[in-house]
Amino acid sequence: MYQAASVYVQKLDLPVECRYLSCSRYSLRLPMYHLNLEEALDYICRDSIDADYTKLLNRAGLTAQEQTQVLKALGMEENPGTKIRYAQLPHIKNALRQCPVFLELLRQHSLEAMPPLAGYLRQEGLLDGVEDALVDSGWVGSMQRTLNQLLTSMGRTRPLEGYYWGLYELPEGVERNRYHCYDFSPEGQLRGKVNFNNNVFEAVFTAPHGMTLGYREEGGTFFPVYDRISREKQTAIETLEGVLMGYIRQDACQMAALEGGLQRRRVRKLLKLFMTQPTREESELFGSLGFCDDVLEYGNRCLAPVMTSRELGQHHVLPKLLVQTGLWKKEIRETAWYEGSVVRSTPSGSYHLLQYRIYKYLLYIRQMLRWRIKHATGK
């Protein structure tokens, strides 16, 4: 995204300087855990594909030995890899809230991570008083809120503005007018949300390095600490980046001649075809990309795995609704790009795609109604 933005800024002669801020949800959240326990628990106990106790405690920054201590205190030391269902998460969060061993370890790791993060943000100019803004893919706007809280505690007085591809929802208590959306917003654009897949977007527009785990100081300079990444994955990302940048340079040359609304409709049409109606070649190539929706990247699954007819059927409307309400107790095989999995798995998947599309409509209608009711009542 940074490379693409730099091309558009240059071609359109915009008075903007693009800078790359190395951060992740994890690298920003961990140092803030000790300031708000409830928000920390919400984040640690969020749902993700194939979540288990080890992954939840990894989000807290605990070492393997410390995780054993916590699981022993909770009486769960024999099953750290047990898959966690969505309906179990509130109970786990309550157990962690009442575990003194966990709370103390969480506090220690959070306090240790704060100074290098603050040093890095100060070094990168976020306290210089110049006009700036955060640009990111989006989805829930939590990173902007976290950065705002941290920068305010460091003395920044002007709230941070954020510009996003799209937002499904926003955190509690934020100023709505500080969050700017290009494609879809929490209030509407139902069809746009159904025709979009944020997992595919993230898998394609990713940096050729590991996730930011934290920061270190060396000789008075602060550097991001990246997670390890396989050479194979790095090569694949760099190859994809080269192809995309060629397209982006060509698009930037034509963009000035297009009216803004026309440009947006063109992009939406292309993304809809790719994300919801991929060809077999597209689903094979992009569906095999590594992907992880967890706070930390594990890199052990592909974006769109090949699935059996039974596994595909588990993502139809009724099973998905039963899972979300906790009435379906069986484990289902997840996929980050269902449409890609359908095309990879069967030559006649139109019924699967229809069922999933109906589910997405219901999901986003419910999400939008909750947003509107909440803000209409001021709650």
List, for residues 215-255, the tens digit of each pLDDT value: 999 999 999 999 888 888 888 888 988 888 998 888 888 77
Chain centroid, CA 325 distance in Å: 23
CB 185 within 8 A of CB 170: no
Paired with 224 in beta bridges are 215
In tens digits, what is the pLDDT along the chain, a chain of 379 residues? 888 899 988 888 889 999 999 999 899 999 999 988 998 999 898 887 778 888 899 999 999 999 999 999 988 766 777 787 777 888 989 999 999 999 999 999 999 999 999 999 999 999 998 999 999 999 999 899 999 999 998 999 999 999 999 999 998 889 999 999 999 999 989 999 999 999 999 888 888 888 899 999 999 999 999 988 888 888 888 898 888 899 888 888 877 666 667 888 888 999 999 999 999 999 999 999 888 766 565 556 889 999 999 999 999 999 888 877 777 777 788 899 999 999 999 998 999 999 999 999 999 999 999 888 887 765 5
DSSP string covering 74-139, please? HT-TT-TT-B--GGGHHHHHHHHHT-HHHHHHHHHHHHHHHHHHHHHHHHTTTTS-----EEEEEE
CA distances from 310 to 257, 287, 331, 352, 360 (A): 49, 19, 12, 11, 19
Q: Tokens for 9, please give them.
A: 């800024």
